[in-house]
């Protein structure tokens, strides 16, 4: 696993390998990350990365947030309650020398406390597939002041995100068994 583009392009990250089913770690492949960031930087969604405050829920290895940092995001808040994931995120922060631009919240993404800092303008949501945890985490993030008005949400799951009354659906993409839904906070 490596950073695909930006100032850390080619930097190898600590990897969980093919995944860790016990820890529910299933890293987004380099190919899917490259396609995802091509969409994000392709212009149709504006420029959601430059100077973004990123919230990376169910962060796993932290690769999505660090890819955004490599491409110009300002700050990344990683949220994951798994010990293996926390260890990988910590190592990947070290490998990208991004400690001053990151925060690691060691907690369940569905139990976020109220946010008193800057709100996220870009959210990566990559829960264990097919569990419904993504919708729960997204609801809690909205209720607890984590999402800025106009924030872009990148929701990865094994099916498209269901219609959500309080979010605008911008686009959907499918990459094999992975569905990515792009949502916006009105």
Q: Which CATH superfamily is domain 21-184 in?
A: Vaccinia Virus protein VP39 (3.40.50.150)
**pLDDT one-digit tens code per residue, 25-79:** 667 778 888 999 999 998 888 899 999 999 999 999 999 999 999 999 999 999 9
Please say whether the beta carbons of 84 and 23 come within 8 A: yes
- Tell me the domain boundaries of the chain: 21-184
Please say whether the beta carbons of 182 and 171 come within 8 A: yes
Percent of the chain residues topping a pLDDT of 70 = 95
pLDDT greater than 60 at residue 101? yes
**pLDDT one-digit tens code per residue, 140-157:** 999 999 999 999 999 999
Residue 16, burial from CB neighbour count under 10 angstroms (0-12, 13-18, 19+): middle
Percent of the chain residues topping a pLDDT of 90 = 77
């Amino acid at each position: 696993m490596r950073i695909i583009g930006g100032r850390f392009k080619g930097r190898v990250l600590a990897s969980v390998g093919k995944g860790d089913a016990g820890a529910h770690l299933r890293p987004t492949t380099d190919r899917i990350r490259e396609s995802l960031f091509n969409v994000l930087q392709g212009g149709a969604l504006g420029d959601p990365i430059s100077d973004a405050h990123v919230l990376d829920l169910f962060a796993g290895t932290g690769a999505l947030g660090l890819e955004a940092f490599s491409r110009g995001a300002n700050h990344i808040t990683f949220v994951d309650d798994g010990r293996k994931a926390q260890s990988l995120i910590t190592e990947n922060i070290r490998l990208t020398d991004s400690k001053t631009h990151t925060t690691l919240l060691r907690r369940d993404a569905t139990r976020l406390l109220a946010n008193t800092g800057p709100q996220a303008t870009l959210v990566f949501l990559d829960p264990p597939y097919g569990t419904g945890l993504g919708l729960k985490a997204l609801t809690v993030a909205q209720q607890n002041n984590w999402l800025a008005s106009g924030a872009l949400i990148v929701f990865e799951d094994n099916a498209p995100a269901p219609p959500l009354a309080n979010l605008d659906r911008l686009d959907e993409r499918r990459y094999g068994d992975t569905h990515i839904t792009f949502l916006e906070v009105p």
